[in-house]
C-alpha cells in the first residue's frame, strides 16, 4: 500500500512541478520537449538536467529543470526521483532551488556548488550550453 501511495505522490509532484513551470513562465511556451542529460553519477546518486527547460531568469541567470535520484539501498531498491527547478548564477558557480517537487521555495538562498559533485557537474554543463544557446 505504501508503495502505491508513494508512486502516486511522485506523479502528483511531477504534475505540480509542471503547473509551477507553466505559471512561472506565464504561458505554455515555457514548456519544451523533455531532453534529459545525465551527468556523471557519484556516491550521492544520479542527476539529470532538461535541455528543453533552459531559460534566462529575470535577473539574467539560468533556470533549468533537474531530476535527482539517490542511490538504491536495501530498504529502497528503486528510489523515487525528486524534481527541482534550479536557478544558476554561472559567473559565480552558485545555485538555488526555486521549486522542489512542484512546490515553490520562497526566498531560496544562493549556495556554492563546492562539495556536491552532482550539482557541480549540472552547473558546469548547463552553463556551458546556456552560454552557447541562450540570448
Q: What is the pLDDT along the chain (135 residues), one digit of tens a residue?
A: 455 545 554 544 454 444 444 434 433 334 557 999 999 999 999 999 999 999 999 889 999 999 999 999 999 888 899 999 999 999 999 999 999 999 999 999 999 998 899 999 999 999 999 999 998
Which CATH topology does 2-133 take? Lipocalin (2.40.128)
What are the boundaries of each domain within the chain?
Answer: 2-133
pTM for this prediction: 0.75
What are the angstrom distances between the C-alpha of 100 and each of 76, 91, 113, 129, 135? 20, 24, 17, 23, 26
Q: Which is nearest to 116 in space by CA: 49, 22, 41?
A: 41
Q: Which residues, at least 6 apart from 36, have a Cβ–Cβ distance to it below 8 Å?
A: 48, 49, 50, 51, 67
Amino acid at each position: 500500500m505504501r508503495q502505491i501511495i508513494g508512486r502516486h505522490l511522485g506523479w502528483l509532484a511531477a504534475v505540480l512541478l509542471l503547473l509551477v513551470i507553466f505559471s512561472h513562465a506565464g504561458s505554455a511556451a515555457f514548456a519544451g520537449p523533455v531532453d534529459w542529460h545525465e551527468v556523471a553519477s557519484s556516491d550521492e546518486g544520479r542527476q539529470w538536467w532538461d535541455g528543453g527547460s533552459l531559460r534566462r531568469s529575470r535577473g539574467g541567470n539560468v533556470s533549468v529543470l533537474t531530476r535527482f535520484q539517490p542511490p538504491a539501498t536495501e530498504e529502497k531498491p528503486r528510489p523515487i526521483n525528486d524534481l527541482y527547478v534550479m536557478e544558476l548564477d554561472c559567473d559565480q558557480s552558485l545555485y538555488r532551488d526555486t521549486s522542489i517537487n512542484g512546490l515553490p521555495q520562497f526566498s531560496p538562498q544562493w549556495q556554492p556548488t563546492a562539495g556536491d559533485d552532482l550539482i557541480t557537474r549540472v552547473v558546469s554543463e548547463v552553463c556551458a550550453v546556456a552560454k552557447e544557446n541562450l540570448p
